[in-house]
Amino acid sequence: MHYGHALTFGTFLTPTATEPARVVSLATRSEELGFDLVSIQDHPYQPAHLDAWTLLTWLAGRTRRVTLAPNVLNLPLRDPAVLAGAASSLDRLSGGRLALALGAGAFWKAIGAMGGRTLSPGESVTALSEAIDIIRASWDVGDERPIRLNGEHYRVDGAARGPEPAHDVPLWLGAYKPRMLRLLGAKGDGWVVTHQLLRPGQLAEGNKLIDEAAVAAGRDPREIRRLLNVSGDFLGGPGEAWVDALLPLVVEDGVGTFILATDDTATLERFAGEVAPALREAVDRELPGTSLPPLRRAAVRARRREGIAYDDVPAALADAAIEPGDVGYAGVRSTYLRGGAPGLVLRPRTEEEVAEALAFARAHPRLPLSLRSGGHGISGRSTNDGGIVIDVSRLNSIEVVDPARRRVHIGPGARWADVAAALAPHGLALTSGDYGGVGVGGLATAGGLGFLAREHGLTIDHLRAVRMVLADGSVVRASDDENPELFWAVRGAGANFGVVTSFEFEADEVGDVGWARLVFDASDTAGLLHRWGATQEAAPRDVTSFLLVGPPRRGRPPVAHLMAMVDSADPETVLDRLRPFAEIGPLHDQSVVLTSYASVMANASPEAHNGHGEPVTRSAFAEHITPEFAADAERLLRSGAVYFFQIRAVGGAVADVPPDATAYAHRSANFSVTTFGVDRRRVDAEWDRLAGHLDGLYLSFETDPRPERLADAFPPATLRRLRELKATYDPGNVFRDNFNVTPERRSH
């Protein structure tokens, strides 16, 4: 009987309280010697021992690689709900290195003397079963309901779930008797037993009970690892004898992990040096090719979505892939602004893996496919329901390849805050958006309107080449010289043509900048808008400002926030540029600092995305803020349909580039206008009334699904050219999650 588990080795150390340094050094030595696991016995009533949990946590701080486990943790003296949280903490702090091995309890008299509850063996198995449910529920942060589990021995009534562990912490159980073995088969992930305490044949009997219980619970027995504590004494004699003794336990009894109980360094060394490698070899000889990739628990597999060939995920991607039942799913299902429930998130690390992920996705043509870099898509719906997400956030390198020529290579998964921080030491910056959390992949394929736009243009204007994986899986480079048509399309409509895996930019020299925030009374909203627009148009290029006007608030006048960047390190220039802006309305508050572009961009939260629902936004460009437009904008704000209304200055360097030079064509506009609301129909109805003042749109800020918007995003000539190119590069329309340009139908 074999369960396909790769063979691993651990140590089992005595936590002698009088010599704390000794057990710590045995643990670190275990790691150095290549053991996979360090385990510590737990007898909280034993004063000669260090507390196992405290010691394991200490060891987490002193090791880097080994898995840490109690062997086994005495449940009766630990509260399961608190233990679940403690286990998550230890797993997070250790970078996913905890295995939680539990025992139902023994030495009841000593437990009672500590003030613990004494249970009969039968009761203790029930209590353990309840505790497992509580622990698993606490870790299942994907379920947003509070935990309610009313057992005979433990009651949790309304506790919040979380924190989530860093990885799928295996729950191992110490079990000898049938009831425990059946519980293990139903709910455990590993069987921990001590060899000396077993009768001959007991492993096989135990396996049988476990396997039957597993199958009865709808599980695969291979989900359960079999771990055996073996003592150094048992392993007296030469190394070969040890191998001879252990081999049948693997081959016949399916043991996947041997845990060596010893406090003797020489024995550890001999085992690691002689026994472990020889045993591995012998097992490979006896059971060639039976080692399986880790199997997901039945409870995890039960949450899989229909129509996805989960078992066919390419090996290179399987490790990091996240499916709905997995730990970590809550952190990848949604994006910054959108709730989602994808069936599979593939997280390639390399260009080749991107191609593999894409091939896998192409084999599922009927499922939604989303592409994600930084997860800040507004138009780009980088999550979905039941489909596949290719998440390239791990392609996030930032490399200044040639400081003199200001050449920078950036992966799509990098965030703009990180880009700014990496370039700053070189005295460089790349014009980007205003928010440091946004990903390079989504922004640098669409445009890139930010605080350096008027002086330095759009992000795409600094793009010199891209590497990308096309719909057919081929990898190409596109630049002015190579695939120039594709390069044209990528700069404004990139999401329709492939997955960009690397961007080659030319950055600008940017020193400290002036950074101002002014707050105005916006009672006269229209007047303020108009005066700001005129001021901004009259200002030199080195100042770019955004005006955010709030809707009227109950009983209080609306306020407007102006944010402005002056690309100058000279305080006089900064103040000169800002002075006219301070006069556009009654000033509530102001702050001006000289700072780096990087510190302005360091404005994003590191938290995982947690969006809900669908964003409702509109976008457009305006040549000028005429009094008529300003008045209608005020009406929009008063309508109550929108909660966010922002106008950004563009123009300047953006307008230096001819409209047909890139797929982003709206070069002449001086302003980009964006709004957010809640109710799609109300927002659209109100916004559509502004149409006379507006022209075109910036696709990255638009979520109106009506087909006319495509014509707003791309003027006729641009759209025609894009559709022809789409027919060449993505005739099957694989890439359709963001302002989809359908391919030109060819008449052959």
Partner 1 sequence: MPDYGHDLLFGTFVTPSASPAHHAVDLAVAADRAGLDLVTFQDHPYQPRFHDTWTLMSYVASRTERIRLSGNVLSLPLRQPAVLARSAASLDLLSGGRVELGLGAGAFWDAIDAMGGRRLSPAQAVVALEEAIAIMRQIWAADQPGGVHVKGDYYAADGAKRGPAPAHDIGVWIGAYKPKMLALTGKTADGWLPSLPYLPGGPAVLGDLNERIDEAAASAGRSPSDIRRLLNINGRFGDTSTSLLNGPPDQWAEELAGLTLEHGITGFVLATDDEYTTELFAAEVAPATRELVAAERRG
Ligand X SMILES: Cc1cc2nc3c(=O)[nH]c(=O)nc-3n(C[C@H](O)[C@H](O)[C@H](O)COP(=O)(O)OP(=O)(O)OC[C@H]3O[C@@H](n4cnc5c(N)ncnc54)[C@H](O)[C@@H]3O)c2cc1C
Looking at the Cβ atoms of 26 and 495, the one nearer to partner 1 is 26
Residue of 5, 78, 219, 648 interacting with partner 1 (CB under 8 A): 78
SS (H, E, C) 336-359: CCCCCECCEEECCCCHHHHHHHHH
- The helix/strand/coil state of 380 is coil
d(CA 17, CA 421): 47
Count other Cβ atoms within 10 Å, centred on residue 463: 24
Q: Which stretch binds partner 1 (CB under 8 A): 32-40, 46-54, 430-438, 648-656?
A: 46-54
Question: Does residue 411 bind ligand X (CB under 6 A)?
Answer: no
The rounded distance, in Å, linking the Cα atoms of 591 and 572 is 15
Query: Smallest distance from the beta carbon of 147 to ligand X, in angstroms?
Result: 32
394: exposed, middle or buried (Cβ count in 10 Å: 0-12, 13-18, 19+): middle
Given its phi and psi angles, is residue 86 left (phi above 0), alpha (psi -120 to 50 degrees) or beta?
Answer: alpha
**Nearest residue (CB) to ligand X, 260 versus 444:** 444
Out of 37, 166, 210, 295, the only residue in the binding site for partner 1 (CB under 8 A) is: 166
Report if residue 447 touches ligand X, rule: CB under 6 A.
yes
Contact 625/549 with Cβ under 8 angstroms?
no
Collapsing DSSP to helix, strand or coil, 614 comes out as coil
**Does the protein bind partner 1 through residue 155 (CB under 8 A)?**
yes
Regarding beta strands 344-346 and 388-391, do their DSSP bridges make them parallel or antiparallel, or are they unpaired? parallel
602 makes contact with partner 1 (CB under 8 A): no
Residue 450 interacts with, from ligand X, partner 1, none (CB under 5-8 Å by kind):
ligand X
Q: b or e along 614-637 (b: 16 or more beta carbons within 10 Å of the residue's beta carbon)?
A: ebbbbbbbbeebeeebbbbbbebb
Report the nearest approach of partner 1 to the CB of residue 98 (Å).
Answer: 10
Rule CB under 6 A: say whether 558 interacts with ligand X.
no
**Does 81 sit near partner 1 (CB under 8 A)?**
yes
Which of 500, 559, 669, 694 touches ligand X by CB under 6 A? 500
| Contacting residue, 115, 200, 201, 707, with partner 1 by CB under 8 A | 115
Query: Is 159 one of the binding residues for partner 1 (CB under 8 A)?
Result: yes
Q: Which residues of 736-748 are buried (b: 16+ CB within 10 A; e: fewer)?
A: bbbbebebbeeee
By rule CB under 6 A, what count of residues binds ligand X? 38
Residue among 10, 80, 433, 457 that touches partner 1 (CB under 8 A)? 80
Residue carrying structure tokens 């080659």: 504
Is the CB of 143 or the CB of 312 nearer to partner 1? 143
Identify the residue among 49, 376, 530, 618 touching ligand X (CB under 6 A).
376
Q: Is 450 in the site for ligand X (CB under 6 A)?
A: yes
Contact call for residue 593 and partner 1 (CB under 8 A): no
Only one residue has tokens 């509850």, namely 117
* Rounded Cα gap, residues 239 and 461, in angstroms: 67
Contacts 24+ apart (CB under 8 A), 33-36: 33/268, 33/269, 33/272, 33/273, 34/9, 34/272, 34/276, 35/9, 35/10, 35/11, 35/66, 35/260, 35/268, 35/272, 36/8, 36/9, 36/10, 36/66, 36/67, 36/257
Look-up: residue for tokens 């379920």? 143
Q: Give the per-residue contact string, 88-107, with partner 1 (x = CB under 8 A; - = no).
A: xxx-xxxx------------
Nearer to ligand X, 13 or 440 (CB): 440
* Binding residue for ligand X, selected from 445, 535, 617, 646, defined by CB under 6 A: 445
Name the minimum Å distance from CB 537 to ligand X.
20
122 token code pair: 């039968």
By CB under 6 A, which span of 21-29, 312-320, 344-352, 377-385 interacts with ligand X? Answer: 377-385
The answer to the question of residue 103 lying near ligand X (CB under 6 A) is no
567 binds, among partner 1, ligand X, none (CB under 5 to 8 A by kind): none
Q: How far is the CB of 150 from ligand X (least distance, A)?
A: 42
Dump the DSSP string for 572-610: HHHHHHHHHHHTSS-EEEEEEEEE-HHHHH-----SPP-
40 touches partner 1 (CB under 8 A): no
Question: Whose Cβ is closer to ligand X: residue 138's or residue 383's?
Answer: 383
CA distances from residue 19 to 57, 70, 73, 189 in whole angstroms, order as listed: 17, 19, 21, 33
Query: Could you tell me if 460 and 448 are in contact, meaning their C-beta atoms sit under 8 angstroms apart?
Result: yes
Among partner 1, ligand X, none, residue 357 binds (CB under 5-8 Å by kind): none
Q: Does 492 bind ligand X (CB under 6 A)?
A: no
User: Which residues make up the interface to partner 1 (CB under 8 A)?
Assistant: 15, 17-18, 20, 24, 44-51, 53-55, 57-62, 77-82, 85-86, 88-90, 92-95, 110, 112-116, 134, 141, 146, 154-163, 166, 606-608
User: Which residues make up the interface to ligand X (CB under 6 A)?
Assistant: 335-337, 370-378, 380-382, 392, 412, 433-435, 438-439, 441-443, 445-450, 494-495, 499-500, 700, 737-738
